[in-house]
């Protein structure tokens, strides 16, 4: 869960007030047009009142007004809290500086984000106090693991990177070192030799609650392996952004990978904790907490339906291995949840706590993120409580070779294409269609990997060799997949557009220049 002003603004402030450029200072009247020129965010502004950090600290709730500081600036964000979803969580960061929070989120260092915050500027911080907030704070990203240079980096702090799409189809199993990486916070560094790591499992009562270290988990529960694709909810967001900008990382097509995961069945652990198969608890949830946390030590936390966790065919595991080796730090060492068929947001890394509850997680990530709305809903009128959290993912497919904009040569007068397809919920891929004439004619691609109609957690690679009559001109390639429930992809992103940029599963469309042999 993200808490504090810095966290919530990631989801709302930038987008909610993106229409408010140019900056107008909160203390200025409309008549005072001469001073509406945008200034360096957080800089000292002559003529504004001066407040001490103690003054700011006194304004920490809605009755006193909610103030925060950033560098030399003091801001009254009370109006923002009243109109923004999840505004109450902002109170956890009230009365202080947002810099410790924002050091975790690279997006907040962007000029546009900082400038928009100036709408709430009311004064200056006493000179000499602007550096106090960060004086004793070390770089939270100083101990990050090394990464493979082939990864396409989207943000460095926190680290987020995708696999080049051309490498995705080279192997059915994605090598761990080039598997996409998605983080919200700095990467925890767990030392098992210290004896400080354990997994807490909260059952129906104290009698059935468990506290397990990794060795105990491995010894007490039979290992189970599952081959499953992991995909970020925002994969292919960059294509959706061509319709209209959304909020989130600019993922291409590589925020997905396929791996062999090994660990204990979650069902087995929950049975030990006193949970039983029953219709009475079919609407319950299993909540997960990770070790990754914000500056207030609030962890990343989400939940999945208990029915998924307890399904003997659901293959939900507490994984300690990935591709035959212990999990790496980037992928959740020492333990992560693997929830096949669901969005990656449910696969909590660095797992430290499990609780069975009648309610889903109350975390920001469960309640106010990873949800989708119709194209007419934007940040100024969204009600997150009206939409369920994304669980199973819809069907998708991608052309990995050639890539968009590439110059390609024909082989025996044919255009060679390769890609992958995948659907959530264990639904297998039954067909992949490819068109090079804007959908007038469709060709059935060859599926390269074995496919099951159910419990198909892995992706399916495909290839197609299409005859091309003319060369020297641009050719547009479309691909769509059909799963075992005969779900297929919609044609255009414009009808799928949502402010969060998730579930971007329209036809994948690329353009290539076909050259003469």
Distances, alpha carbon 77 to alpha carbons 41, 80, 120, 131, 351, in Å: 15, 5, 6, 21, 34
The residue behind tokens 């909810």 is 233
- The reply to whether 232 belongs to the active site is yes
Burial 13-50 (b: 16+ CB within 10 A, else e): bbbbbbeeeebbbeeeeeeeeeeeeebebbeebeebee
Among residues 59, 84, 121, 237, the one annotated as catalytic is 84
- The reply to whether 148 belongs to the active site is no
Among residues 120, 180, 300, 370, the one annotated as catalytic is 370
Give, for 269, the enclosing helix (H) or strand (E): helix 266-272
Concatenated DSSP letters of 402-417: SPTT-EEE-BTTEEEE
Contacts of 110 (CB under 8 A, 6+ apart): none
- The reply to whether 84 belongs to the active site is yes
Kindly state the DSSP code that residue 342 receives in the 8-state scheme. B
Among residues 15, 120, 121, 182, the one annotated as catalytic is 182
Given CA atoms 14, 143, 336, 425 in this order, what sign does their dihedral have? Answer: positive
- The reply to whether 208 belongs to the active site is no
The residue behind tokens 């050639």 is 402
Task: Name the H helices within 370-450.
Answer: none
Among residues 59, 108, 431, 480, the one annotated as catalytic is 108
Distances, alpha carbon 485 to alpha carbons 307, 343, 426, 512, in Å: 21, 19, 10, 32
Among all residues, which ones are annotated catalytic?
A: 84, 108, 182, 232, 370
């Amino acid at each position: 869960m993200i808490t504090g002003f810095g966290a919530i603004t990631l989801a709302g402030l930038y987008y909610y007030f993106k229409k408010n450029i140019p900056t107008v200072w909160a203390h200025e009247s409309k008549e005072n047009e001469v001073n509406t020129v945008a200034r360096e965010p957080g800089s000292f502004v002559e003529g504004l009142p001066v407040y001490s950090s103690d003054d700011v600290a006194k304004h920490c709730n809605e009755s006193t007004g909610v103030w925060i500081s950033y560098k030399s600036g003091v801001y009254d964000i009370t109006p923002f809290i009243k109109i923004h979803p999840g505004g109450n969580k902002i109170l956890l960061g009230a009365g202080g500086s947002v810099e410790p929070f924002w050091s975790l989120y690279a997006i907040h260092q962007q000029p546009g984000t900082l400038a928009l915050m100036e709408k709430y500027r009311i004064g200056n911080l006493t000179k000499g106090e602007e550096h106090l907030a960060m004086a004793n704070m070390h770089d939270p990203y100083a101990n990050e693991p090394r990464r493979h240079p082939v990864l396409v980096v989207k943000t460095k702090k926190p680290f987020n990177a995708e696999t080049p799409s051309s490498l995705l189809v080279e192997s059915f199993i994605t090598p761990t070192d080039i598997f996409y990486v998605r983080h919200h916070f700095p990467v925890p560094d767990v030392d098992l030799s210290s004896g400080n790591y354990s997994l807490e499992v909260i059952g129906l009562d104290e009698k059935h609650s468990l506290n397990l270290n990794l060795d105990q988990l491995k010894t007490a529960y039979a290992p189970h392996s599952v081959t499953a694709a992991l995909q970020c909810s925002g994969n292919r967001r960059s294509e959706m952004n061509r319709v209209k900008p959304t909020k989130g990382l600019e993922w291409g097509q590589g925020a997905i990978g396929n791996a062999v995961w090994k660990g204990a069945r979650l069902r087995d652990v929950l049975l030990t904790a006193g949970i039983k198969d029953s219709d009475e608890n079919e609407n319950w949830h299993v909540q997960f907490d990770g070790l990754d946390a914000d500056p207030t030590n609030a962890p990343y936390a989400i939940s999945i339906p208990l029915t998924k966790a307890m399904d003997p065919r659901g293959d939900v595991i507490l994984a300690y291995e990935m591709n035959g080796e212990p999990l790496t730090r980037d992928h959740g060492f020492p333990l992560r949840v693997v929830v096949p068929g669901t969005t990656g947001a449910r696969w909590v890394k660095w797992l430290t706590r499990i609780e069975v509850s009648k309610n889903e997680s109350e975390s920001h990530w469960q309640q106010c993120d990873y949800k989708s709305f119709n194209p007419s809903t934007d940040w100024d009128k969204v009600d997150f409580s009206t939409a369920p959290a994304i669980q199973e993912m819809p069907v998708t497919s991608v052309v990995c070779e050639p890539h968009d904009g590439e110059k390609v040569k024909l082989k025996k007068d044919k255009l060679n294409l390769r890609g992958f397809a995948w659907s959530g919920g264990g639904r297998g891929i039954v067909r992949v269609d490819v068109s090079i004439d804007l959908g007038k004619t469709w060709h059935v691609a060859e599926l390269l990997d074995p496919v099951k109609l159910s419990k198909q957690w892995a992706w399916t690679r495909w290839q197609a060799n299409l005859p091309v009559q003319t060369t020297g001109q641009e050719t547009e390639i479309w691909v769509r997949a059909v799963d075992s429930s005969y779900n297929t992809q919609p044609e255009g992103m414009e009808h799928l557009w949502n402010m969060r940029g998730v579930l971007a599963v329209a036809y994948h469309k690329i353009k290539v220049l076909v050259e003469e042999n």
